[in-house]
Amino acid sequence: MGQQADNLVSPQVQADRHVTFRIRAPKASEVTLTGDWMPQREVQKLSKDENGVWSVTVGPLAAGTAIYSFTVDGVAMADLVNPKMKLRARGSASLVNVPGDGTELWAARDVPHGNVELNWIPSKALNGETREVRVYTPPSYDKDAAKTYPILYLFHGSNDTAAGWTDVGHAHYILDNLIAQSKAVPMIVVMPFGHAVPFGGPQQNNTKVFEQYLLEDVLPVIEKQYRVTPGRENRAIAGLSMGGGQAVQIGLSHLNLFSALGVFSGAVPGDFSTRFKSLLEDPAGTNAKLKLIWIGCGKQDSLFSRSQQMADTLEAHKINHVFAPSEGLHNYANWRLYLCEMVPLLFRDGK
């Protein structure tokens, strides 16, 4: 027989968006909470009651899905009574959904919904390994078998998985709502797993190997399987954090394939100015090829200086771009907003 179910409630979300977190650990000497709404390396201490239940109330938190975990006597763990898990490339955490007023673009509204399909693609670049690639198709996709769609390749960050942009970023709801409001062109969104080399080991070759995986395995298979409108003008690339750096390096190195670039709190390469010197020194040619460069980052984000420097470099060389600095940290609360702002600008006829 299994153990008796624990009736502990955690997390408990209150109407004012304060949230109480609890964990039963009667023999523990210290329990702390880590959340993606906190500055890096900051923790919140929990207090223990007479029943051995540790708790803390925080907030108000921003509306949306947030990631959190406990550390019990030095051991990090997910919330044991919360079934909403955040799987990572290494380790796991938990998810808490803080409701807003229902008008958020990442909320599930009563609009036509697209589909998110799980594709399992064997990779020659990764020694035959089969990997998951998530693909969003817009609500109209199955209604007209002859219609084709532009495509956005959307990347997650370090220690995340292919599920990050749907489980936490709610990219599918964002696309559904923007399309329903006629604010975005219906498009296909491809979300691959960005750790081409094992996470936890040396990562210096990850982007190089991921580039090979994306261009030789993912792109050809997906664009054969789905009805994609041909041509570089119908293909965009974007990502957050590590994925933002990947989007920069792959997108700008292959302007024969991509015509738009999105960088969310991106790990922009330190040698950006020298790596892309030829593009910077030919603003007329670069501006003719790139319909959009969109850069967003929170001012309290540890990677803000990289985004600022990239934007300043583009400005100095008269390369057209959008720089959208915001308040906030390195988390999906910002990345959801950035996707909401960038997607309406993609695949439009005008600049």
pLDDT at residue 202 in the model: 76
Out of 71, 98, 125, a domain closes at: 98
Low-confidence ranges of the chain (pLDDT < 70): 1-5, 350-351
CA-CA distance, 297 to 306, in Å (whole number)?
9
Q: Distance between CA atoms of 212 and 214, rounded to whole angstroms?
A: 6
Give the number of domains in the chain.
2
Cα–Cα distance between 351 and 345 in angstroms, integer? 9
Global pTM value? 0.95
* Residues 83 and 148 occupy one common structural domain: no
Question: What confidence score (pLDDT) does residue 3 get?
Answer: 53
Q: What is the pLDDT of residue 236?
A: 98
Domain that holds residue 48: 12-98
Residue with token string 């408990």: 12
Confirm if 119 and 132 have CB atoms less than 8 A apart: yes
The candidate with the shortest Cα–Cα distance to 161, out of 228, 103, 90, is 90
User: Which pLDDT value is given to residue 5?
Assistant: 61
CATH number of the domain bearing residue 280 = 3.40.50.1820
Other beta carbons within 10 Å of 214: 26
> Which two tokens mark 292?
């959009």
* pLDDT score at 1: 43
Residue type, 4: Q
> Within this chain, do residues 238 and 293 fall inside the same structural domain, yes or no?
yes
* Residues 317 and 183 both lie in one domain: yes
Contacts of 275 (CB under 8 A, 6+ apart): 249, 269
Query: Does one domain contain both 53 and 187?
Result: no
Q: What is the pLDDT of residues 181-232, one digit of tens each?
A: 999 999 999 999 999 988 887 778 999 999 999 999 999 999 999 999 999 9
Answer yes or no: do 120 and 47 share one domain. Answer: no
User: How is residue 259 written in tokens?
Assistant: 């015509």
Does a structural domain hold residue 337? yes
Identify whether residues 194 and 285 lie together within a single domain: yes
